[in-house]
Structure 1
């Protein structure tokens, strides 16, 4: 930033739990680790990030996928009130009783409307649960796609207590592998796990690590993923995202494309590390959206699978090369999906890359709504022209 003002919200770190109303007010300056530290001892949970180092504001303004989302939908649909400072300096609250138009646009519309100072979220009585990570070697990876497809098509709706993050990883000079993060909203008998969970934890697909256990405190797994701010990382990083409709053979094709396109960079780019995830968005997300006052603007009307890549490298001189790598990879992924009629188009904002604008993929009606509400609450487009960075509403 040049000749500008940086406004830090880190002092807005309130976490106030109301056990009678089953809500918690969370200041916008929090990271999720602070929220979990407050709520875990009380035996309640919110739909927060699956990595505790993530900031509250960006996560919720981008939609938010939580370990509890198969049961309760998008994290942003579980926000009952936003407190926001508008460009004219006024402070208002958006909830189901007032400014409902703005309420919906804040559920996925990012930082385009003002500075959100607090979020009031629903809480749920979830404490003891089963969670952890199962790691599979290269030889086991081909066996994962059939149970993954079955889970996406039927399992996540049949048993919404269960949530997985299917992630495939390739480090330079190492065999590729997979990590499937597991979460079940109550304790389970791990010798006889629930049917939906069974294929991934019962050993029928050989794993070299299985760290799934019964835990207390829903924040325990996100905090294990955190372990230090990404700001201190010595590596450079970038994301990119698209989405597809579920198809087992397409999953295999995407995995093969990812390996093949990545291969030349393993030896030419210092510090190169690469992962691709296949994250299902099921019917519960859509049902919650339809039932929630202040309908979100994400534009999803049918189940899909978010395909996201996260890469790391060492040197700033390779930034452009890495951006071109992601562009090439996702051009091929989109073409493969389109060839079998499985392209979906939606881009999850929280995984968006520097050369993407996920808001542009929310659909015509939602873009019309976003523009209308933007002109109502920020008529001079202060947060579009004077705030650098972030994804902007196209056509403003």
Structure 2
């Protein structure tokens, strides 16, 4: 039996452009109930859908009651309702408190790709919004949990397998980088991946992916052999440079706008023991430390085994710079870090480490269960400007000194010439960066604090700081529009930072594979193609 009110999906989505109506992925006469039947789901047998009238009943509560009850009917133990242990284990395990506070209608833990196809189609059928969580390491509400909707938790999709010649690792989205590196370490292998244990594979790769190994191989998105994704029509697509090449390009930097990735097939790399750790300096040595940072970045082509970032913050009234210096071989004092080593340090915890040991060690610098914000900009590498920004940062810190638990940190990272050159691999990525721009510098604020009542004060402080910095950067001609998605705040629009041509191309690809805008409207969280998640209110 077919229910006429379900034909073609919800009317709320039918107004989207159908310029790609003849796409084999989703033709103009696409029928949601038929797609569910192809998955073995008989819509007419689901009790929660009897008497449900589609778009006419599209309130969040009614739509999501129908959707979650349907998922429970079909999958039973894979669905957790509110006030259950399974539900609280989801909400209590996010990195930031802003994400923990979100209350979805239900939590769905799929175990295979067709489970996800069913969930997406049920979302379309009912109009219930959804979000998907890999690691859950974003810092704002709704990034990977759906308020009042379906939160898809990939936790039980955690396989890591190697192909026959061990050149590609197939990684399901329930993994974080500790589980990935732990699985590959016995083979002497790794992938270009994250630098902290709990960061998930999903958002990390789709947003770019800065790695210890980036000067050698590029960012994570530039080291993907292929993706397995669930399209808006529920179809499973294997996406590579030769199969759906436009979508392959879009997924490498385009975020969650094109489908739910159920497998990341990443090229493997050798994983010998590394050497690294934090070397810490006091304020009288900040100019030398900034010089060392810039010189290492400018000389990255000389020795691509080096990776660095430097963080500036204040502890108990003492201003500190902490340089994380990583070498992808077990070499204690490589020539490229000599300038750093010549600066007197108050501490140095560098030591030989495996990747598993390294990401575990760095996890301590990413504490859970605090209110968090990330907020970056990008500039041309410039010694004088870098010093000015640090001085401006410290001059403004007293503005939030009285806020309980407030700990603002500014972190400098380099997008080096070797990294930029590798962005042209496999047809290039969507980020809008290339080697012609020379080395770039990501300046990122990371801040945590304790109380929701102080949210606006923190956001106003950071907005004021960046307004001042951006104005000066533009005055000096060093500002770059690029925004690194994985560090972006909810007030930023990374897609626009990729450039107008790339943004237009991404929107065209989204219409081709998702003509009714399912991943723009029913999955509204995180960074969409049409603007920042939240309009600044200060």
TM-score normalized by the length of structure 2: 0.69
Look up the match of 1:362.
498
SS of match in other structure, 1:54: coil
Look up the match of 1:22.
167
Look up the match of 1:80.
225
C-alpha separation between the residues in 2 aligned to 1:351 and 1:219?
23
State whether structure 2 residue 426 is matched by structure 1 residue 293: yes
Deviation at 1:219, TM superposition (A): 2.8
State whether structure 2 residue 462 is matched by structure 1 residue 326: yes
Deviation at 1:388, TM superposition (A): 3.1
2:325 aligned to which of 177, 182, 186: 182
Q: Structure 1's 127 and 152: CA in aligned 2 closer, same or farther, altered over 3 A?
A: same
Count the aligned residue pairs.
Answer: 384
Deviation at 1:243, TM superposition (A): 0.5
State whether structure 2 residue 153 is matched by structure 1 residue 8: yes
State whether structure 2 residue 275 is matched by structure 1 residue 130: yes
Give unpaired runs (5+ residues) of structure 2.
1-145, 532-538
1:254 aligned to which of 374, 389, 409: 389
- Give yes or no for contact 1:345–1:361 (8 Å, CA) kept in 2: yes
1:161 aligned to which of 284, 299, 305: 305
State whether structure 2 residue 238 is matched by structure 1 residue 102: no
- Give yes or no for contact 1:53–1:229 (8 Å, CA) kept in 2: no
C-alpha separation between the residues in 2 aligned to 1:105 and 1:368?
11
Runs of 4+ more than 4 Å apart: 227-230
Look up the match of 1:40.
185
Deviation at 1:126, TM superposition (A): 2.4
Deviation at 1:148, TM superposition (A): 1.7
Pairwise mapping of residues 366-381 of structure 1 onto structure 2 (< 5 A)?
366-381=502-517
State whether structure 2 residue 337 is matched by structure 1 residue 197: yes
C-alpha separation between the residues in 1 aligned to 2:177 and 2:352?
21
Q: Structure 1's 169 and 41: CA in aligned 2 closer, same or farther, altered over 3 A?
A: farther
Pairwise mapping of residues 111-126 of structure 1 onto structure 2 (< 5 A)?
111-126=256-271
1:293-345 CA-partner distances (Å, limit 9, x unpaired)? 24211001222101100011111001111111111111111112112111112
SS of match in other structure, 1:170: strand
C-alpha separation between the residues in 2 aligned to 1:108 and 1:2?
25
1:349 aligned to which of 485, 505, 511: 485
Deviation at 1:2, TM superposition (A): 4.0
TM-score normalized by the length of structure 1: 0.93
SS of match in other structure, 1:358: coil
SS of match in other structure, 2:405: coil
Give unpaired runs (5+ residues) of structure 1.
none
C-alpha separation between the residues in 2 aligned to 1:294 and 1:392?
23
Look up the match of 2:72.
none
C-alpha separation between the residues in 1 aligned to 2:459 and 2:156?
34
State whether structure 2 residue 64 is matched by structure 1 residue 64: no
Look up the match of 1:209.
347
Query: What is the aligned-residue RMSD (CA, Å)?
Result: 1.7
Look up the match of 1:284.
418
Structure with the larger RCO, 1 or 2 (CA within 8 Å, 6+ apart) = 1
Look up the match of 2:122.
none
Deviation at 1:159, TM superposition (A): 0.7
Q: Which has the larger radius of gyration?
A: 2
- Give yes or no for contact 1:157–1:283 (8 Å, CA) kept in 2: yes
